[in-house]
Structure 1
């Protein structure tokens, strides 16, 4: 099965696709990938050496020059859909870039595609952004299944909630069903320590912490942050009107990590539960479910950015596994797809069927 990826980042979606293909016995021929970030494409080339990787601005790239594929993946930019910021949606600078994914799908007409974005896309432009995106892909002739995946339910040691849209070409007569979780939850401690990270693992450099940060972290219990009521006054941050829960927040070893981010200043690097320090990039990669032999290229902050922006491959693998089983006509345990509210009705409308309210806890086989 020929495969390509747009807005590829460091390759979390693609790694998930390959893991799933290996599990179900499918041969995935990785043809190409495209991203504008040179460090990310260097990482991609390092880990997927057979793919033709393009470093380019998609707005200036001749998409019709890309070879035809059977399947496509893309995590189009989330900046304008994130709940952090102005939330401009399709009216922002990055929101309209999804249209290049629409154009690529229209050109290649693959059997399937998987699109990924942040949970905040549901409310961008008062909900109209996601509706527009769904209609644009549906108009190409695809049956769509959008769903808010909580990746901690799928074996990822991190609370990371993302909207994935799985499209299947109408002429296939198939419909993707959301897979039911089948893996035990993983805590932050399990993700980072089981098994122990080898000392020789790549991207495992420690950050030198200032004495002030060390003292602040030592005053915090696991799970607490810089705004905790238990923190002595001299270690609190002098910030008015803002109480950001992830600032200098120590991990709780007995729970999945909070969301790993790719940018941000002091206090946003994710902090160890017992040692007074920020995590290494390899530890962040562990929370994102990347294997230790997955090498990230670039400087320390560039690697941090790539890891924070990536899709957890273990979570993506569960989605691709269900997709590949669907294409093979095989059944698997599933749960109803739902984004709640009008989107359930919208998807039903686009499919020409009656909307049925989803029940998140019911599992079908």
Structure 2
């Protein structure tokens, strides 16, 4: 069984690469997997990256570069029927790092285009992804509203708070992922279970040092350009120990940042080679590019891609800052693949190790209401 797959907010292909490499043979020898049908993404460099690595030239016309607000989801002459919809709707307004405007921001309401696609195509299942801050945006009401609209399109939901370092990713990247199974299939006994972590204990986590040195990255690797730091930054970095940031006491006053507070931040923070990295991001100015544990420099984009679990032959298109943004917005393929394989085994009715979903998110999925007024707000 091969599921015909579409994506909205496709990014550079983290989800698509996971789907492309997620497959298994069931006990009868039948192959289960995914097949790309169409995708949409608004940024042209990101679309070029997706095409180059996921589909090649022969299917280039199946990837659309459009603002989702103008993308015609009703055009079935162009958009084929699908079994699966994957969408990581924009997280800008839900991130705990930002102002967390939620549904009141420019990006917060864009989840509704995933709702429109579900209504239009009624795929067998969907997978939606966003940051952990989604559960607390708008005092928790945004998350409940989103779950409610997903349910109303005809799906049984399993939201869960995934810590990707528990799934072999060398990074503390935490995301809410919602798997929806269409109601008629759920009634037939298709019930998704959250796959058990593959590396549940901190002693098992894949470390930054392991990710960046085993094997070593070739000097001529793709997207491996080094940053030319100014002398002041180099001097400041020389005083920051492994795992430390720009507020360590050893930095002389003349090299300190003229910024108050934020002593626990990731600004000019060095990685700890013996731990997973902190979260790879695609935005922010100087000091937010992630810094090597011993060398006085920011990571290259290829090193960031390694932490995001992209293979070294995955070529990101565009200039250096565009590539940085693409890598930061992507979902780590190695972590996401575990979820997709669990979904395949769910439909194949094959056993796999699973855990209970995040209790508080599951409570939110109950959507307690009084008339049209939401009276239950749950946060993680």
Confirm or deny a common fold (TM above 0.5).
yes
Ranges in structure 2 where 5+ consecutive residues have no aligned partner: 369-380
> Match of 2:374?
none
Moved more, 2-11 or 182-191: 182-191
C-alpha separation in 2, matches of 1:23 and 1:349: 38
Give, in angstroms, the shift of residue 244 of structure 1.
Answer: 5.3
Counterpart check, 1:105 vs 2:118: yes
2:96 pairs with 1:83: yes
TM-score, normalisation: structure 1? 0.92
Equivalent of residue 196 in structure 1, options 195, 210, 216: 216
Determine the structure 2 residue equivalent to 1:179. Answer: 195
Corresponding residue to 1:32 among 38, 41, 60: 38
1:238-317 alignment to 2 at 5 Å? 238-243=258-263, 245-317=265-337
**Larger deviation, residues 59-68 vs 278-287:** 59-68
Partner of 1:225: 245
Give 2:343's aligned residue: 323
Equivalents in 2 of 1:186, 1:16: separation in Å?
A: 18
In structure 2, the partner of 1:353 is none
Distance across 2 between alignment mates of 1:150 and 1:27: 24
More displaced 10-residue stretch of structure 1: 197-206 or 110-119: 197-206
Shift, 1:23, TM fit: 7.7
CA shift at 1:170, angstroms? 1.3
Tell me the residue number matched to 1:363. none
- CA–CA distance in structure 1, aligned partners of residues 293 and 93 of structure 2: 33
Aligned match for 1:55, one of 49, 58, 65: 65
2:48 is aligned to 42
**Are the counterparts in 1 of residues 144 and 367 from structure 2 also a CA contact under 8 Å?**
no
Preserved contact between residue 80 and residue 93 of structure 1 (Cα < 8 Å): yes
CA shift, 1:73, in A, is: 0.3
Unaligned runs of 5+ in 1: 351-365
Give the secondary structure class of the aligned counterpart of 1:20.
coil
Does the CA contact (< 8 Å) of 1:148 and 1:339 recur in 2? Answer: no
C-alpha deviation, 1:15, in angstroms: 1.0
Q: 1:167, CA displacement in angstroms? A: 0.6
Count of residues in Structure 1 that have an aligned counterpart in Structure 2: 348
Distance (Å, rounded) in 1 between the aligned partners of 2:18 and 2:365:
26
Task: Tell me if structure 2 keeps the 8 A contact 1:150–1:160.
Answer: yes
Comparing 91-100 with 242-251, greater Cα deviation is found at 242-251
Asked if the contact 2:15–2:333 (Cα under 8 Å) also holds between the matched residues in 1, the reply is yes
Deviates more, 1:174-183 or 1:106-115: 174-183
Q: Contact conserved, 1:146 with 1:339, CA < 8 A, in 2? A: no
